Amino acid sequence: MTLLAALQEATRRLAAGGVARPRLEAEVLLSRACNLTRPGLLARLEEGLAPAAAQFFWPAVDRRAAGYPLQYLTGHQEFMSLDFRVTPAVLIPRQDTEVVVEAVLERLHPDGEYTIADCGTGSGAIALSLAHYLPRARVYATDISPAALAVARQNARELGLAARVTFYQGDFLAPLQGLKFHALVANPPYIPAADLAGLPADVRWEPRLALDGGPDGLDAYRVLLPGGARLLRPGGLLALEIGCAQGQAVMSLAAATGAYRDRQILPDYAGRPRCFLAHRREE
């Protein structure tokens, strides 16, 4: 079978499975199977599909057609223009979260010698992109999942950031006690437990631990807002991703701590509220 025929058959199977861009995803999976770039693949469509490539390709096509995320099949997702490895042990980094990282970068000086925390780091998307774009910063990242931390550590090595990023296993802030931060950032699980069943198909394959925010979705904020106040330096920046219906609730929880000034909610590119920002009060 030629690579072209394989692409055509895969495109048909992916389309039948409801994949929105079946030809594109067929090309992505086939180039991964053949260890080629997409342009490299497209230049060789008359060549035959090697048995080893076929062995990866057809099961991958069928899993994708059944709704399994493309990124878990390729093992990669771009975030903040950096290449992150992903496995089913971590949430696939999202564009929504780039809004949070960009809000933080806008408020810090590129040469600042900051100490920054990322709580619930998953693939390391937030921690490592901040370390990359703030080359003098020191970053501490936590995750409760050892399997997620293994992915984050590998990403740190592959992005050349391992020397400035320290990973700790544990719940959100627990491993960070005794440290003081200029900024604390998190994309915590925030989906109300009862909504998990009704989520889009791709989310079903992602770690429940990364998504489940407890009965009202706010469990993590009840830990991060008061706990963050104890770990932030005076004036320090707190930046949290939130669900688009959680702005008011997170604002109230933040106000109730009495510890934050300049509390605000930023919209994402679609205008939905997606990021809570505040500064630790000085007193």
Give CA–CA dist 202/204, Å, rounded. 5
* Strands 273-280 and 232-241, sheet pairing: antiparallel
Paired tokens of 10: 């895969």
Binding to ligand GLN (CB under 6 A) within 82-101 occurs at 91, 93, 97
Give CA–CA dist 229/261, Å, rounded. 11
Q: Which is nearer to ligand GLN, 151 or 278 (CB)?
A: 151
- Should residue 122 be labelled a site residue for ligand GLN when binding is judged by CB under 6 A? yes
- Should residue 71 be labelled a site residue for ligand GLN when binding is judged by CB under 6 A? no
Query: Least distance from C-beta 189 to ligand GLN, angstroms?
Result: 5
- Should residue 224 be labelled a site residue for ligand GLN when binding is judged by CB under 6 A? no
What residue number has its CB nearest to ligand GLN? 122
Query: Least distance from C-beta 32 to ligand GLN, angstroms?
Result: 21
Helix axes 22-33, 51-65, angle to 10 degrees: 150
By CB under 6 A, name the one of 11, 121, 129, 246 that touches ligand GLN. 121
- Should residue 213 be labelled a site residue for ligand GLN when binding is judged by CB under 6 A? no
Q: Which stretch binds ligand GLN (CB under 6 A): 29-37, 171-179, 184-192, 264-272?
A: 184-192
Q: Which is nearer to ligand GLN, 149 or 229 (CB)?
A: 149
Q: Which is nearer to ligand GLN, 44 or 138 (CB)?
A: 138
Number of residues that bind ligand GLN (CB under 6 A): 13
Q: Which stretch binds ligand GLN (CB under 6 A): 65-73, 121-129, 252-260, 265-273?
A: 121-129
Could you list the residues that contact ligand GLN (CB under 6 A)?
Answer: 91, 93, 97, 120-123, 125-126, 187-189, 210
